[in-house]
Amino acid sequence: MKKEQLLKAMSHYPALYQRKSGDTHKGSFGTLAVVGSVEGMSGAIVLAGKSALKAGCGKVFLGFAQAKLPTPFIDSAPEMMLQTAITLLKQKDISAWAIGCGLGLSVDSEQLLLSILAQQNKNIPYVFDADALVLMAKIKPIHLLNAHCVLTPHPKEAATLLNCSIADVQNNREQAAIEIVRQYGCWSIIKGQGTIIASPDGKTLKNSTGNSGLSTSGSGDVLTGVMGSFLAQGMSMSEAVSSAVWIHGMAADILVEKGVGPIGLTASELIDTIRVIRNQMWRINEQRIGDLF
């Protein structure tokens, strides 16, 4: 990105360049728990977890919805800590949760989601995505959600949540996002070209970044990981949701400008670019502070 573009973005998303300094440690930047990935879908929470780390989270736990861990560690990201989902639910030092990537739709998956909803800490933020949304449409956990939760459906999942057609969603995306907020009592976004963000106070925001390169497997998992990361780091729900949607789309735009996509752009290629954008913003801000002295 050009410096002028970065400065403009920084005026809209100040949380992206702010970072604690001085006497810090990994705990200073939050702990995210990512739960999902039944057998055959192990990569889903790995993508989310790697995104969370490279978006600035201090610690990331992966909770696989499997009886045994599919691998003792992740070669490409050995920093992540692996547990079965059932074991991870007992973890107490979690700053934010991201639920649903590759979770599956079985009875066991439904019971796991019900357990998460029943024991959730009402003061800790939760991101619900993918299969968790389809299961929510079935179990309707309205009384268990609040303003610390966000649902992140694509149009088909939004239609499932609202019991309507995809065309109904796409014909009025803003109203669909508002209706999810009304029915489920939490934040919602509807992904796609011009992602819509709706808050519990009735306000909506349309995102301007992103392109067709994001229409690829795992792209939503990356967004979930980034959003969960920002929440774990202490951003407000408003800051985390809008910043995550913007930077996810901007990463795709930058890659397309470089010739990496839109055709064949992969979700994993977004992750390092997201890290670059945040660090570029941070360096510009550090320079501005230095210029004051």
- List the chain residues with pLDDT less than 70: 290, 292-293
Q: What is the pLDDT of residue 142?
A: 79
DSSP 65-84: SSSS-S-SS-TT-TTSEEEE
- 262 close to 210: Cβ distance less than 8 angstroms: no
**How far apart, in whole angstroms, are the C-alpha atoms of residue 24 and residue 28?**
6
Percent helix, strand, coil in the chain (nearest 5)? 50, 10, 40
Q: What is the pLDDT of residue 22?
A: 76
**How far apart, in whole angstroms, are the C-alpha atoms of residue 132 and residue 51?**
19
* Tokens 């774990």 found at: 232
Phi then psi for residue 246, to 5 deg, are -65, -50
Q: What is the pLDDT of residue 141?
A: 85
Q: What angle do CA 212, 217, 221 make, to 5 degrees?
A: 100
DSSP 184-210: HSSEEEE-STT-EEE-TTS-EEE----
Instruction: Tell me the one-letter amino acid at 38.
Output: V
Which of 132, 114, 112, 163 is closest to 228 using CA atoms? 132
- 98 close to 228: Cβ distance less than 8 angstroms: yes
Total-model pTM: 0.97
Counting Cα atoms < 13 Å in the Cβ hemisphere of 214 gives 24
Q: What is the pLDDT of residue 3?
A: 85
Q: What is the pLDDT of residue 293?
A: 55
Q: Three-class SS of residue 36?
A: strand
- 247 close to 226: Cβ distance less than 8 angstroms: yes
Which of 11, 56, 60, 9 is closest to 33 using CA atoms? 60
